[in-house]
Structure 1
Amino acid sequence: MAPSRREMVAGLGALAAFPAPNPSPAADPTPATVPVVPAGVSPDRLARDEGFWRTVARQYRVSPAFTNLENGYYGIMPEPVRHAYHRNVDHLNERNSHLLRTTYKAQADQIRERVAAVLGASREEIALTRGGTEALQNLIAGYNRLRPGDAVMYADLDYHSAQYAMNWLRERRGVRVEKITVPEPATRQAVLDAYARALRDHPEVRLLLLSHMNNRTGLVVPVRQIVTMARDRGVDVIVDAAHSWGQLDFTIDDLGADFAGFSLHKWMGVPLGTGFLYIRRGRLAHIDPAFADETHPADDIRSRVHSGTHNVAPFLTVPTALDFHHALGAPAKQARLRHLRDRWVHQVRDLPGLQILTPDDPAMYGAITAFRLAGHTSEADNVTIAERLFDRYKIFTVHKAGPARGACVRVTPALFTSADDVDRLAAALRDLTRSRTS
């Protein structure tokens, strides 16, 4: 029998009797430094070294008032990046328009070069944006190969702002919009079968939106295989990699994508308001210039973004963030985030009435995982669960609507998260399910 709202509240209220969370690591008063990864230690072994990750956590200024397990919205800056950002804000303020009209242009090209190198692309395939949303919107809105009577497709787990842009194509391009459901529970084969069936059943589809790692449940799908099957049917794919880049270890060739949108202010730790879009060499003509932009020639990818005068201080901070990312390494970050996810999930996966919405296949998750209580599928139910986790236990999570089978609560640890933090969540969920069966 599913727990009632009253039972959920009572169960979470009992958490007040548990010890309060330990304060999160505060920043050292000493100058910020980039952690040094021990030589010869495998990423999986390093992922379990709490001592090492405490040194990493000390590079983040985190509030001790609560345990933050909602790090998917914005990935805060480590201290070296935060200090660099403050210097760049001051530099921009001092130099003003002179900086924008002179040296920044060359610096922006160097930043694109750095970003492209990490992605495994060329600078000419990269254009900076104010976030992953702007990148996806520009790609979707600018895609010019659609004709009236064609169709576009997205899934229930895709990012809501990207869904809105796809829906807008109905009026903009005169196309139909098809929506599919990602299977739940998911397996690699079930996901592949679902996309294969959807593409077969809708031969008029010409554009597919595909999330590498979706922001609702954290499921990672086999992008390269789906891109290949879509291409075989004459379907172009725009990949949403906003959450996966910096969290998972991959390059653009691992995805096989011709078009993709990325965030820099999530898992790369760059200040808010930063991202980029990718268009593979040879495909630029299939995305229109933004608003008939004439700032750059039509054969320059930067003409596909027109953001006006924006705050360049976050972009000037990108190199420092990439230095921090490189010092840890994508394999170590991926291993640590998966370890934290595994630690709490494996403690609660078999609890009665609690559903974990990502599988235990390591290729299909990173840090983000969502849970749902059986029978509690409404958005209101999951708002209540997230609020009570915070009010009673000082654990910050977020509810997520959108999955076809109902809303859920999303849990997202970060590099500063400790084993104790995720153990605290597991204890809260055990207490909650225990109260409903007693």
Structure 2
Amino acid sequence: MFRDRFQGRAVNRRTFMASAAATAGTAGALPVLSGQAHADTRSLPSLWDVDRSVVNLENAYWGVMPRSVEEEYAKQTRYLNRHNVTFVRDGIPGRERTVAMDQVRAEVAQLMGASKEEFTLTRNGTEAMQNLILQYGSLRPGDAVMYADLDYDEMQQAMDSLTHRRGARVIKFSIPEPATTANILDAYRTQLKKAPAGLKLLLVTHLSNRTGIVMPVREIVSMARARGVDTLVDATQTIGHLDYTLSDLDADFVGFSLHKWLCAPLGAGAVWIRGSRLESIEPCMGNTMFPAEDTRSRSSVGTVNFAAVLTVPKAIEFHRGIGGSRKQRHLQSLRNYWVERVRDIPGMQILTPDDTARHGAVTSFRLPAMRDYAQAQKMATLLLKKHRVLTVARTGITRGSAVRVTPTLYNTPQELDRLVAALRQESGAFL
């Protein structure tokens, strides 16, 4: 049961879904937040217990568990604390750890429209992508790898490490601004055409943690494949955020974080490897717990937070209760709510286009003085200390630093209004 603070009544999942559907009208979609928000939309934040003394607009870091998922996590933690190694060693008939963990793998696979046998679980998205990058087995000394400035820091570092690990050459390029679909594809097409013959591996981030831009992954994968180049897709920011399945990406190797937009507890991620390409990714550090033909040999076998992993199905259930397409549209509407209200601020630059294919909830902004990271950090600090609005400064963008804003389902229009008012008040100092 959920407690609806706005209506003062308890609601279960069925009531919540009925309310969301009624709000949406005949299309069954959550409403777009323009102007006055519908009362039923305001019931969504009541499904979370969060500290509202600070407006948290830094939700791309990780996803706060809704109350129902938090309760499931507490339940799983109590169970593990009580049964501990007896559970882990499959000593409880009907509650074997190997079966329970494999069911989690199956749930993630079903959500993404793929086979369970093509998935393995990891501790987070960074580990998932590092496994794919560092265990990519088709590199020979002198081969080249490529990535862009908007890719995640740790993934860039892993790609760079292939120089001394595998003797690879590293090619880095910049995503153009404005980052329209045409401009992005043009940049990748140009880079692939002029790349050396030995280019073997391309890193592509589905949604950039720096600017929020959503890449046209399928088209990029197709261009790379036509030149014999493999693509590793970093989807850590998109599972549970954008409405898609693996067939929409058409990639061969994808890494996920399950504790971001799916709102599972911290400590859950996953790797997907197309079955026909498993041999291209080496077993993780010589993993022999599983046979080489088992995808699970491509991740670490160390002790994990079992309670966090076992809570993933509850997070998936919550996600499905809202609906993938509804959730995406609502997250985009939260982004649009604040973006529409700051466009006319002098010097304001929004780093994601309004094209719904190119953004989700994450968007960064830049004012003229903020190209310098210290100034971007100054703005983020000012928003937090003076206005109690949490954002984050992002660097590593070729055209200049920015401040990232990421609302999520528990945020309200009133909280976004506080951001808008703060930006209007402070922007003049950053021209």
Q: TM-score with structure 2 length normalisation?
A: 0.92
The residue that corresponds to 1:391 in the other structure is: 385
Where does residue 271 of structure 2 map in the other structure?
Answer: 277
The answer to whether the Cα contact below 8 Å between 1:338 and 1:367 also exists between their aligned partners in 2 is yes
2:145 aligns with: 152
Greater CA drift, 341-350 or 27-36: 27-36
The reply on whether 1:218 has 2:212 as its aligned counterpart is yes
Corresponding residue of 2:353: 359
Deviation at 1:435, TM superposition (A): 6.3
Map of 2:110 onto structure 1 = 117
- Structure 2 unaligned segments of length 5 or more: list them: 91-95
Higher mean displacement: 423-432 or 298-307: 423-432
Specify which of 184, 188, 199 is matched with residue 192 of structure 2. Answer: 199
Distance 2:135 2:172 in 1: 21
Query: Is structure 2 residue 227 aligned with structure 1 residue 233?
Result: yes
CA displacement 1:18-72 (0-9 Å, x = unmatched): xxxxxxx979998784331326543655344532232221110110211111111
Structure 1 residues 139, 435: CA separation in 2 closer, same or farther (over 3 Å shift)?
closer
Alignment CA distance shift 1:50-1:104 (3 Å):
farther
- Asked whether the equivalents of residues 27 and 59 of structure 1 are also in contact (C-alpha less than 8 Å), the reply is no
Unaligned runs of 5+ in 1: 1-24
Confirm or deny: 8 A CA contact 1:27 1:60 kept in the other structure.
no
Give the share of equivalent positions with the same residue, in percent: 46
Return the alpha-carbon distance in structure 2 between the equivalents of residues 27 and 162 of structure 1: 42
Equivalent residue, structure 2, for 1:100: 88
Name the CA distance, whole Å, in 2 between partners of 1:278 and 1:419: 36
C-alpha offsets along residues 368-415 of structure 1, whole Å, 9 cap, x if unaligned? 000111132122111111011011111110111110011110000010
Partner of 2:174: 181
State the distance in 2 between where 1:436 and 1:385 align: 8
Q: 18, 21, 31: which one pairs with 1:38?
A: 21
Q: 1:52-99 CA deviation, whole Å, 9 max, x = no partner?
A: 232221110110211111111010000000000001001001011011
Question: Contact (CA 8 Å) 1:199, 1:230: kept in 2 or not?
Answer: yes
Structure 2 residue 334 is matched with structure 1 residue 340 = yes
The question of 1:416 aligning with 2:401 is answered: no
The 5 Å alignment of 1:276-355 reads 276-355=270-349
What is the alpha-carbon root mean square deviation over aligned residues?
1.8
Match of 1:74 in 2: 62
Native 8 Å contact 1:151 1:176 kept in 2: yes
Deviations 1:171-210 (A, max 9, x none): 1111100001000111100000000000111133110000
Match of 1:59 among 47, 56, 65: 47
Distance verdict in 2 for CA 1:54–1:118, change over 3 Å:
same
Is 1:126 aligned to residue 119 of structure 2? yes
Cα separation, partners in 2 of 1:41 and 1:68, compared to 1, 3 Å: farther
Deviations 1:222-263 (A, max 9, x none): 000000000000000000001011111000000011000001
- Counterpart among 229, 243, 260 of residue 254 in structure 2: 260
Cα separation, 2, equivalents of 1:370 and 1:277? 28
SS at match of 1:50: coil
Q: Which amino acid aligns with 2:122?
A: T
**Equivalent residue letter for 2:345:** L
**Segments of 4+ moved more than 3 angstroms:** 25-34, 47-50, 433-437
Q: Is the partner of 1:46 in helix, strand or coil?
A: coil
Partner of 1:14: none
